[in-house]
A = this chain, B = another copy of it.
Amino acid sequence: MTDRIVDFLRSRRPEGPCLVVDLDVVRENFRAFRHSMPDTRIFYAVKANPAPEILSTLAEMGSCFDCASVAEIEMALAAGATPDRISYGNTIKKERDIARAFALGIGLYSVDCEAEVDKIARQAPGARVFCRILCDGAGAEWPLSRKFGCEPEMAAGVLEHAYRNGLDAYGVSFHVGSQQANTEAWDGALATAAGLFRELAERGIRLRMVNLGGGFPTRYLRDVPGVPNYGQSILDAISRHFGNRLPETIIEPGRGMVGGAGIIKAEVVLISRKQADDPVRWVYLDIGKFGGLAETMDEAIRYPIRTLRDDGPSAPCVLAGPTCDSADVLYEKTPYPLPISLEIGDEVLIEATGAYTTTYSAVAFNGFPPLQSYVI
């Protein structure tokens, strides 16, 4: 919660649920990454929040951009980034989208299999590629599946395949899982990456880059280590595994860059009980799983919630969204403590919601408009 956001909400009084993002916090976060990892290039994960004001602020500060689609590439370009500061970081790309990206000047692509290499070799000849490897994601709060990446043994073959097809086998990427609370989580993957560097070198191919991915957390209800702790721990691990032949490095913060910069303002629509003597209240907000809070799926991300009545005693509530979908429940397995004096019509502030909210919101489910956003 920043004074600028408080002032904005007080003076503008926007109707309906909305996200307010404070660019000063984004700037601070960018500086913290740059300061803690001065030799690492920062590729902001555009998908976390592609608001034009955020992209242009970061472009001005010298950030690079990790894009998931041609549309995101176009947004980064429109914000002032040059093509050499943009990666097409999705391992799943249509061949015609690779052609479009290449025509826009993009020269850096991610892959995790030979079929994707073949598409890039055909449509983006000579481009740099990095191969994503699987990583277990222990310690992360947002579920990491096996969707992206391949086993390290396979990655060597994928990179050699790229090299033999005229591409620049540039490096290795991995992701330790979103909202990663363990600063040591990068160690194992860095050991694997170093092994791949050695194996490829034996095949006459010189990898140069390690993409350390994202995973840098936002502070929700629990304290998380600061960016300097991550920077130091990662730097130590790189030295440990690569010795004095340090590779180029990239990070792709999304949540860590913008999560803490935003607040969602919402409203209590209804408070009820399911039977007269029910100890647990149901509290229904005007925002839910389909209006921007998709990351409450399986109660994964637990946001801090503030009300004007937090001074008084609280009691556990089931918290739900406003739609007619029975799956639109935010917290039920672990009920959320809210003030006993909470009333229908009260404003609630959902903190640390700058990332992965606006773009997840449904286009019109139940006739509700997508989440409104203000970047100040």
Give me the interface of A with B, judged by CB distance under 8 Å. 45-47, 50, 67-72, 75, 89-95, 112-113, 115-116, 119, 134, 142-151, 153-154, 157, 178, 267, 269-276, 282, 284, 286, 290, 294, 297, 320, 322-329, 332, 344-345, 358-370
Q: Is the CB of B270 within 8 A of A72?
A: no
**Chief secondary structure at chain A's binding surface:** loop
Q: Determine the residue in chain B with the shortest Cβ distance to A93.
A: B269
Q: Is the CB of B272 within 8 A of A113?
A: yes
Set of chain B residues within 8 Å of A294, measured between Cβ atoms: 290, 362
Q: Determine the residue in chain B with the shortest Cβ distance to A70.
A: B367
Known: A89-B324, A366-B69. A329 touches B150 (CB 8 A): no
Set of chain B residues within 8 Å of A324, measured between Cβ atoms: 45, 47, 68, 89-90, 148
Known: A90-B324, A323-B68. A275 touches B365 (CB 8 A): no
CA distance A102 to B233 in the complex (A): 61
Q: Is the CB of B150 within 8 A of A272?
A: yes
Further pairs besides A91-B270, A290-B294, A361-B363: 9, Cβ < 8 Å: A47-B325, A68-B324, A90-B322, A90-B324, A92-B284, A113-B272, A147-B282, A149-B274, A151-B275
CA distance A69 to B16 in the complex (A): 13
Q: Is the CB of A71 within 8 A of B368?
A: yes
Set of chain B residues within 8 Å of A89, measured between Cβ atoms: 324
Q: Determine the residue in chain B with the shortest Cβ distance to A15.
A: B96
Q: Is the CB of A363 within 8 A of B370?
A: yes
Set of chain B residues within 8 Å of A363, measured between Cβ atoms: 358-359, 361-363, 370
Q: How many copies does the complex hold?
A: 2
User: 9 pairs across A/B with beta carbons < 8 Å?
Assistant: A45-B324, A89-B324, A90-B322, A145-B326, A178-B326, A294-B362, A359-B363, A360-B362, A360-B365
Q: Determine the residue in chain B with the shortest Cβ distance to A328.
A: B147
Q: Is the CB of A270 within 8 A of B92?
A: yes
Q: Is the CB of A320 within 8 A of B147?
A: yes
Set of chain B residues within 8 Å of A145, measured between Cβ atoms: 326-327, 329, 332
Contact for A94 among B286, B297, B329, CB less than 8 A: B286
Known: A94-B269, A113-B270, A274-B154. A46 touches B326 (CB 8 A): no
Q: Which of A116, A360, A369 has the most CB of B within 10 A?
A: A360
A211 to chain B, nearest CB (A): 13
7 closest A-B pairs by beta carbon, nearest first, are A71-B367, A113-B272, A69-B367, A72-B367, A68-B366, A151-B275, A363-B370
A126 to chain B, nearest CB (A): 22
Contact for A329 among B116, B147, B297, CB less than 8 A: B147
Known: A326-B143, A345-B95. A366 touches B267 (CB 8 A): no
CA distance A146 to B329 in the complex (A): 10
